[in-house]
Structure 1
Amino acid sequence: MDTYFSHGDSDPIIAVTKGHLGRLGYVVGAPDNAVFDHTFESGLRQFQQDRGIVVDGVLGKESLDEIELARFRLGDRILKYDPSRPQIGDDVAELQKRLANLGLLTSWISFRFEESTDTAVRSAQRELGLNSDGIVGPKTIKALMDVHRDHAVGNIYNLTERARVKSLGPSLAGQVIVLESAASTHHFPTAEFSAEQRELQRRISDDIARRVDGRLTALGAAVVHATDDNPNIADELGSSALISIALDNSPSPLPNGVATYYFGSTRTPSIFSPVGRELANLVSREIDSRTPLLNCRSHAKSWESLRNLNTPKIYVLAGYVSSQHDIALLEGASVRVDIAEAIVAAIQRLFLTEQNDYDTGTLDLSNVPWATRS
């Protein structure tokens, strides 16, 4: 079971974390003080905000993982491929971005030094007249930094991800779509849901997912539901997209509305999932046009549950369990129907060419010629 630290706790891990965050420039107090005090909480929240993860002021697995990623900048250490213990970190992501900018890396920017990165490094070294040993030391880093090709919109993976989806044609027949529902409490374990709120989220999210499933299946898509036992099923099936439907929660009853999220880095705008961003924007706009729920728009986040998949994945947080306004609307079947219709319309619009695209909120799938079972 994961360990979490919050205000008032004392542990050697807190002292170590203070040292790491202090070296990154955050004001967290003296590292020899192992107490989780107000200064440390403030600095931790700022770090969470900067990294695009949940800002809860709690030191848990995701925050510790992000701190581990942030520890190194490119040049701080020697990088090389080790299949038994792959190196991870922001320095690896920066290396991957530079390799992608040169057209040498066509895989996901994963923050992990894997075989594809090793292959790209060796190719770069050969092109730059260096020893092709796969070891990223000062000479290789200097050579990469001397190559100015950033204007090339360098993430080839982004281009191929978008091209792959567009090449599949406008029909959903035969496409594999993975659905996930009520995963907030699993992916965001520090979010405080009461037993009643957990059940409410499960019931509403499952109902929306069931309606999405029915509509996609009727259009010929193969729908698979993700489970905690196999979080990588979307990648294993080579699915076109993963849509996670859930509800949000807040200590205050005031926040309300629908928001969508996709993988992206607020610190490095070139690192993002283009298909995820497009789908998140489409879902946000379709729900806004079809329901009275407040549009909280789409946002880039580097949550672990978004970052660890190659499949374009989005979260649809379809309201707040803590908002009486949202729940009153979501308890009505017609709003859940409209949300499901909006999600399916957004998925269909994702595959449409510009010539066949429809205005937001106007796509009626029953009238689209190719939106029928193959």
Structure 2
Amino acid sequence: MLRRGDHGPSVAGLRSALASLGLLPAQVPAPATNGHARQDEPVFDNETDAAVRAFQQQRGLNADGIVGPATTRALTDARWSLGDRTLTYTLSAMMSGDDVYALQVRLAEFGYNTGRPDGRFGPLTDACVRNFQRDRGLPEDGVFGAATFRELTRMRPMVTGGRPHYLREHHNLRQSGPRLRGKRIVIDPAHGGSDPGWVVDTDDGEVRAADLTYDIARRLEGRMVATGMDTFVTRGPGQNPTSEERAALANEVDADLLISLHIDGSTSAQASGLATFHFGSDSGATSTVGETLAELVQKELVARTQLTDCRVHHRTWELLRLTRMPAIQIELGYLSHPIERARLLRDDFRNTLADGILVAVKRLYLDGRDDPHTGTFTFSELLAHEESVRGA
């Protein structure tokens, strides 16, 4: 992990990567001294910090200026453009990069079902490449090399722009029907184990964001089970899976939705509010159902809690990008804000959060059919609605 003030060869590599992306000036070799090149030790200075934050913002990462695993992977992925290298599916070490992402988007424009673009050359991308090769009379080997690249670039896409997965996602949503029974939902309480999240000392002891998100997850799980939904929680109280492991669980159980619960914190006691995130990039690739669910959750929770509306945003965070189903991440207030902390510590407020999230999920599947006003649909009314749908 690198941050401002660090120095050494790793910083030199970081600066070189940022320079290749146009975020830092190109490095000029140091002048020779006694026949040898002088290498001044590179430093993670203010200029590097600003470039890292700009890159993180471009990629939808937390713009904290810290080069951790997620930022390092994103820098590695950003090196590649489509056609730079041969791409193929390898089970042991899956290839990833911006070139894979571009390939997935391009194939989707030709009508191939690549799923959500995630920049990973997995089995679905392999199948699409093979189908494309077969359709174009090329050897069907799944290897995206020079010949396949030439064929891809010379063709005119069937569809460009917009949201290639809108019709497929929306069709699946409509086909699933308005009932909650049988829907498979993954609930992801953030942090856990050695990662407590934001921590605040109070008169009653230490308050950890990880404990609160887990508590809200269990309340939400209980309500969902009562409606007949199948639920899966990504961690226990002492566990902290990686984002990739949490996404893998959701994919393995073939979930319909993933809902990730977070509680934020800030060095500023003024930071406050509620925000919801869904998968999406600045280039227009978006999980449409994820965006709809995020908007429903945001409206429902703001109406019920009166927390500051920090709105809905798209991000390419790993948990949102690597899940095959619509996924959202909810920031349920700031533990560092004294008023919000006091509310988050109350059982009735955490029940309100769980009720609001469940009702938003129900609204997603109602898709505008007999939909009560935001903030007015109670848990008991929701259960009664489920019974009436079952009896119809």
2:335 is matched with which residue: 307, 318, 321? 321
For residue 278 of structure 1, what is the aligned residue in structure 2? 292
For residue 169 of structure 1, what is the aligned residue in structure 2? 177
Q: Per-residue deviation at 1:152?
A: 7.6
Whole-Å separation in 2 of the counterparts to 1:364 and 1:106: 39
Whole-Å separation in 2 of the counterparts to 1:251 and 1:68: 31
- Preserved CA contact (<8 Å) 1:256 1:325: no
Please tell me whether residue 150 in structure 1 is matched to residue 166 in structure 2.
no
For residue 298 of structure 1, what is the aligned residue in structure 2? 312
For residue 25 of structure 1, what is the aligned residue in structure 2? 22
Change (3 A) 1:247 1:371: same
Segments of 5+ residues of structure 2 without an aligned counterpart are: 29-38
Alignment partner of 1:41: what SS? helix
Q: Per-residue deviation at 1:47?
A: 0.1
- Preserved CA contact (<8 Å) 2:200 2:336: no
For residue 34 of structure 2, what is the aligned residue in structure 1? none
TM-score (norm 1): 0.88
Alignment partner of 2:86: what SS? coil
For residue 333 of structure 1, what is the aligned residue in structure 2? 347
- Preserved CA contact (<8 Å) 2:217 2:233: no
Whole-Å separation in 1 of the counterparts to 2:208 and 2:93: 42
Q: Per-residue deviation at 1:114?
A: 2.2
For residue 284 of structure 2, what is the aligned residue in structure 1? 269
Q: Which amino acid is 1:329 matched to?
A: R
For residue 136 of structure 2, what is the aligned residue in structure 1? 128
Bigger shift: residues 339-348 or 353-362: 353-362
Whole-Å separation in 1 of the counterparts to 2:374 and 2:25: 46
Whole-Å separation in 2 of the counterparts to 1:206 and 1:134: 43
Write out per-residue CA displacement over residues 114-153 of structure 1, whole angstroms, 9 at most, x where no aligned residue.
2322221232233334444433344433432331323485
Please tell me whether residue 245 in structure 1 is matched to residue 261 in structure 2.
yes
Alignment partner of 2:101: what SS? helix
Q: Per-residue deviation at 1:343?
A: 0.3
1:219 is matched with which residue: 219, 227, 243? 227
Alignment partner of 1:356: what SS? coil
- Preserved CA contact (<8 Å) 1:263 1:276: yes
Whole-Å separation in 1 of the counterparts to 2:224 and 2:159: 40
- Preserved CA contact (<8 Å) 2:87 2:145: yes
Change (3 A) 1:205 1:150: same
Bigger shift: residues 28-37 or 321-330: 28-37
Write out per-residue CA displacement over residues 215-251 of structure 1, whole angstroms, 9 at most, x where no aligned residue.
2122111222111456232222222212121211112
Q: Which amino acid is 1:109 matched to?
A: P
Change (3 A) 1:37 1:98: same
Whole-Å separation in 1 of the counterparts to 2:250 and 2:9: 38
C-alpha RMSD over aligned residues: 2.7
For residue 386 of structure 2, what is the aligned residue in structure 1? 371
For residue 33 of structure 2, what is the aligned residue in structure 1? none
Whole-Å separation in 2 of the counterparts to 1:336 and 1:247: 12
Whole-Å separation in 2 of the counterparts to 1:5 and 1:133: 41
Q: Per-residue deviation at 1:161?
A: 3.2
TM-score (norm 2): 0.84
Change (3 A) 1:19 1:48: same
- Preserved CA contact (<8 Å) 1:68 1:89: yes
1:1-374 residue pairs with structure 2 within 5 A?
A: 4-27=1-24, 30=27, 33-145=41-153, 146-151=155-160, 153=162, 155-156=164-165, 158-183=166-191, 193-194=198-199, 196=201, 199-227=207-235, 228=240, 231=246, 232-266=248-282, 268-270=283-285, 272-368=286-382, 369-372=384-387
Change (3 A) 1:351 1:314: same
Whole-Å separation in 1 of the counterparts to 2:92 and 2:7: 34
- Preserved CA contact (<8 Å) 1:80 1:134: yes
Alignment partner of 1:354: what SS? coil
Alignment partner of 1:336: what SS? helix
Change (3 A) 1:51 1:28: farther
Whole-Å separation in 2 of the counterparts to 1:193 and 1:49: 22
Q: Per-residue deviation at 1:351?
A: 0.8
Alignment partner of 1:91: what SS? helix
Q: Per-residue deviation at 1:255?
A: 1.2
Identical counterparts, % of pairs: 34
Q: Which amino acid is 1:249 matched to?
A: G
Q: Which amino acid is 1:258 matched to?
A: L
Q: Which amino acid is 1:193 matched to?
A: W
- Please tell me whether Structure 1 or Structure 2 has the larger radius of gyration of its CA atoms: 2
Q: Per-residue deviation at 1:25?
A: 0.9
Whole-Å separation in 2 of the counterparts to 1:192 and 1:15: 31
Whole-Å separation in 1 of the counterparts to 2:74 and 2:309: 29
